[in-house]
Amino acid sequence: MKIKLLTIISFFTYQISISQNEKLLQGKVLSQNIPLNKVEVINKTAKTSTTTNELGEFSILAKAQDSLLFFSKDYLFKRLKISQENMNQNNIIVNMILKPEELNEVVVTNVEFDKVKFDADAVADVLISKNAKDLFWNTGVNDNTIREGLRVAFPLKGKPKKKIEPEDDRVKKLILAYCPPDFFIKNLKLKPEEKELFIKFCDADPKSKTLLVNPNVLTVMDFLYLKNEEFKTLK
């Protein structure tokens, strides 16, 4: 009976300690002091999520050392590790950066230009007139060799340009859209010069194309962390 009582007491003590550590955290998401609506707020540690309201406010259950992810399609992905100070203040402010606008893809195709037309005889006449002061042209001897030699055809038809196929960089754009600029250095511990090589390494994996089917910030993060482990073994 005593053992049973001790077990029950221990269980309730454990539950109380958990409830004391975890609480409803309040916060606000802004961009240039403007509240952001419908930003997805994900507690990666607890696997829970919510969205901001029209005032940019949100509430989510969290505790110290939890990782919060903030995602919006028009803004750079943001990550925040909750500190005990955040829990005590219970009023965190998150600033997100607007993504730079991207130019639409330019596809180069065969372009047909109108042929340049000119009179070969007129060109010959100009050259003859230019050389009229030359001693040879004033000898009175005219065998028509030079003049007739100038009356030649000028082929202008060039070879058609080859079609340039645009590079499939959808995976690269997806990764850059979901990751802040310092993610590769701070989180993946990569050197600045390794960033492009690492993205190409990820793109080379056929599994990376599955990210395009149903883009999700957690799926992309898990994929990048997994590929990072493989990338390190190649060094």
pLDDT, position 97 = 92
pLDDT, position 52 = 96
Choose the final residue of a domain: 55, 78, 100: 100
From the list 163, 160, 162, the residue with the least C-alpha distance to 113 is 160
Q: Which domain holds residue 170?
A: 164-235
The label of the residue with tokens 């109108």 reads 114
On whether residue 45 sits in a domain, the answer given is yes
On whether residue 10 sits in a domain, the answer given is no
**Per DSSP, which regions of the chain are E strands?**
23-31, 34-35, 40-43, 48-51, 57-62, 67-72, 75-81, 92-95
Choose the final residue of a domain: 52, 70, 100: 100
pLDDT band at 81 (very low <50, low <70, confident <90, very high): very high
Between CA 48 and CA 42 the distance in angstroms is 6
Residues 87, 72: one domain? yes
Residues 69, 117: one domain? no
Task: Tell whether the torsion through CA atoms of 132, 138, 139 and 141 is positive or negative.
Answer: positive
Task: Count H helices and E strands in the chain, helices first.
Answer: 8, 8
To the nearest 10°, report the CA torsion of 181, 185, 191, 193: -10
Residues 73, 127: one domain? no
DSSP code of 114? P
On whether residue 64 sits in a domain, the answer given is yes
On whether residue 119 sits in a domain, the answer given is yes
Tens digit of each residue's pLDDT (9 = 90 or more) over 110-128:
656 565 555 666 656 666 5
Number of domains in the chain: 3
Count the neighbouring beta carbons within 10 Å of the beta carbon of residue 41. 23
On whether residue 18 sits in a domain, the answer given is no
Between CA 128 and CA 151 the distance in angstroms is 11
CATH of the domain at 77: 2.60.40.1120
Residues 140, 188: one domain? no
pLDDT, position 138 = 52
On whether residue 13 sits in a domain, the answer given is no
Residues 169, 234: one domain? yes
Tens digit of each residue's pLDDT (9 = 90 or more) over 43-62:
999 899 999 999 999 999 99
pLDDT band at 157 (very low <50, low <70, confident <90, very high): low
Residues 156, 168: one domain? no
Residues 75, 141: one domain? no
Tokens of 218: 């957690």
On whether residue 106 sits in a domain, the answer given is no
Residues 234, 168: one domain? yes
CA 107 to chain centre: 19
Residues 28, 71: one domain? yes
On whether residue 223 sits in a domain, the answer given is yes
Residues 154, 116: one domain? yes
